[in-house]
Amino acid sequence: MGIHAGAPAPLRQILSVPLIQSGDRIGGVLTVGNKRNGEPFSSDDVDILLTLSVHAAVAIDNARFVIEIEKHASTDGLTGCLNHRELQGYLDQEVERAARYGKEFSFLMIDVDHFKFINDAHGHPAGDVMLKNLVGVIHGLIRPVDLLARYGGEEFSVILPETNREGAKRVAERIRKAVDESPFTTPQGHPVHLSVSIGIASFPLDANTRSGLVNAADQALFTAKGGGRNQCCYYSETPVSLIPKDQSRLATLLQDPMLKSLADLASGIEARNPYYRDHSQRVLQLGTRMAEALDLGEQDIRSLQWASLFHDIGMASVPEAILNKWGPLTLEEREAIRAHPHLAEVLFKGSVRFESALPVVLHHHERYDGQGYPKGLRGEEIPFLARVLSVIDTYLALVSVRPYQPRFTREEAIAELRRSAGTQLDPRIVEVLVGLLKDSGDPEPRS
C-alpha cells in the first residue's frame, strides 16, 4: 500500500533527551525524528536538543509554579476550598449576573457549633482534620455549580446560583442533618460529634449587594445560634431584618406595640447622624463571634441581641449639633451625652421583651475602674453582658470614622483596646475579642 499524499514520512530515526526539572526529576521527554535531509543525527544535533530541553524544562517548571501560586492564592490551604478573598470576587460576579438577568440566588453561612471545645479537648491538629472532613461532607451535598468557601476559622460559606430561599433552606437542612449524623473521628480514633448552625440569605429578597447579603446571612446565623444551635435560619426570621424598613409590619410581627416607636427612634438617630449609620447592626454582627467564643446561653444571646440593636436609643435625646460636633465637647455637652442611658431606661421599663436587655443598655458605658456612667460601677459590679457590649462598641467606634477621631486600623484598635484593659474595659473580654480578630481570615475588620 502506498503512502497517502501529504502524510508524514515514516520514522526512520529518532533522538530523545529527558526534561530534567527541579529536584532532578524527569518531567518528560523531548523527542525529534527524521532530519529533513535524511542524514543521521550528529553530536551537534544532540547538543542543540539538550540545550532546548533545559529551556523547556525551566519553562514547564515555571508554568507549574505559576499554577501552584494561583491555586494557593485562591484556595484555603487547609481545606482546599475557595478562600475568603476569592469568595468576595465570586459573590460580586453572582450579584452582577443575577441582577442583569433577573435571577435569584442564595448564600449560606455555616458555622461549626462549639468548635473551640473540640480544639481544647482534642488539640488543633484534630480540629483541622474535623474541618477537612466537614468540607468533604458539604461537597457531597452541593451541585458542581455551587461554590464552597472557607470564610474564616470554623466558618464556611456556600453560593447557590439560581436558588430561591425555599431551595436554599432545603440544601441547608440537608447539610445540617448530614453533619449531625456523620461519624467524625480524630486522628487518634476518638469519636467526635459535630453540628452546624446555618444562616440563609437570598438575592434580591434579603439584600441586593455583596456586603448586604453577607451581613444578612451573618445575622441569620447569629439567630440560629441564639435559638439553640444545630439549626437553620432565614434572614427574614431575625429581629434585625425587621428594623430599618417596615415599621408597621415590625410591630405586628413581634407582637410588641412599643417596638415600632423604638425602631422609629433608632432609624431617626442613624438618619440624622451619618457616623452612627448601621452601627447597631455592626455591633450585632461582631457579637455573633463573641457569643460563640463566650459560649453564651440562649437567654444571654437574646439579651445581647436586643441590647446591640437598641444600645444607643437614648441618643435620640442628644441634639444633632452635639452628635456631629468636630472638636472637644463642653462640660454641658458631655453631660447631655452621659444622660442618654436614662432615656433607654425610661423606654424599656415595663417591657417584658426588653427586661433582660435593660441592664446591658443602661450600663454599657460604665468603666472597669469605676469612672464610667451612669452609676460609676466598678469591675464585676458591671453586668457581664454590659462589659461585653462595651468592648464591642469601643472597638467598632475605633475602626469607624467619628467627628472626634480618625479611623484606626485593626492593629491600632487592638493596641488601643489593650491599653484600655483594666481601666475602661474588662481585660478578659478584651482578650477574647482580640483572639477573634487575630484568628479571623479577614484582612480588615468585618465591621
pLDDT digits 0-9 by tens, 296-323:
887 788 788 888 878 877 776 666 667 6
Q: From edge to edge, which strands make up the β-sheet containing 155-161?
A: 147-152, 155-161, 105-112, 196-203, 232-234
Distance from the Cα of residue 128 to its chain's centroid: 18
Q: Do 343 and 313 touch, CB atoms closer than 8 A?
A: yes
3-state helix, strand, coil in the chain (%, to 5): 55, 15, 30
Q: How far apart are CA 199 and CA 111, in angstroms?
A: 9
Pairing mode of beta strands 105-112, 155-161? antiparallel
Q: How far apart are CA 54 and CA 21, in angstroms?
A: 8
Q: How far apart are CA 174 and CA 160, in angstroms?
A: 14
Q: What is the mean pLDDT of each run of 10 residues along the chain (447 residues)?
A: 54 77 72 77 81 77 59 75 89 92 94 89 92 95 94 92 94 96 91 94 88 85 80 74 39 46 58 62 80 82 82 70 70 75 71 77 92 91 95 89 73 93 96 85 42
Q: How far apart are CA 305 and CA 360, in angstroms?
A: 10
Fold of 77-237: Alpha-Beta Plaits (3.30.70)
Q: Can you read off the three cell numbers belonging to residue 348?
A: 424599656
Handedness of CA 71, 221, 269, 367 (dihedral sign): negative
- Spell out the residues 6+ positions from residue 146 whose beta carbon is closer than 8 angstroms to its own: 158, 159, 160, 161
* Phi/psi of residue 191, nearest 5 degrees: -70, 140
pLDDT at 243: 42
HSE-CB of 420 using CA atoms within 13 angstroms = 24
pLDDT at 248: 40
Q: Can you read off the three cell numbers belonging to residue 231?
A: 439549626
- Which regions of the chain carry the CATH code 1.10.3210.10? 243-447
The pTM is what? Answer: 0.50
| Dihedral, CA of residue 267, residue 268, residue 272 and residue 276, to nearest 10 | -40
Task: Classify 333 in phi/psi space as left (phi over 0), alpha (psi -120 to 50) or beta.
Answer: alpha
Rg (CA), the chain: 30
Q: Where are the alpha helices (DSSP H) in 40-181?
A: 43-74, 84-101, 115-122, 124-139, 165-181
- Which regions of the chain carry the CATH code 3.30.70.270? 77-237
Q: Do 156 and 194 touch, CB atoms closer than 8 A?
A: no
DSSP 355-412: TTTHHHHHHTT--TTS--SSS---GGGS-HHHHHHHHHHHHHHHTS-BTTBPPPPHHH
Matching CATH number, 243-447, of 3.90.1720.10, 1.10.3210.10, 3.40.50.10680, 3.40.190.10: 1.10.3210.10
* Phi/psi of residue 47, nearest 5 degrees: -60, -45
* DSSP H or E segment with residue 107: strand 105-112
Burial of 122 (0-12, 13-18, 19+ CB in 10 A): middle
CB atoms within 10 A of CB 286: 23
pLDDT at 426: 96
pLDDT at 416: 94
Burial of 430 (0-12, 13-18, 19+ CB in 10 A): buried
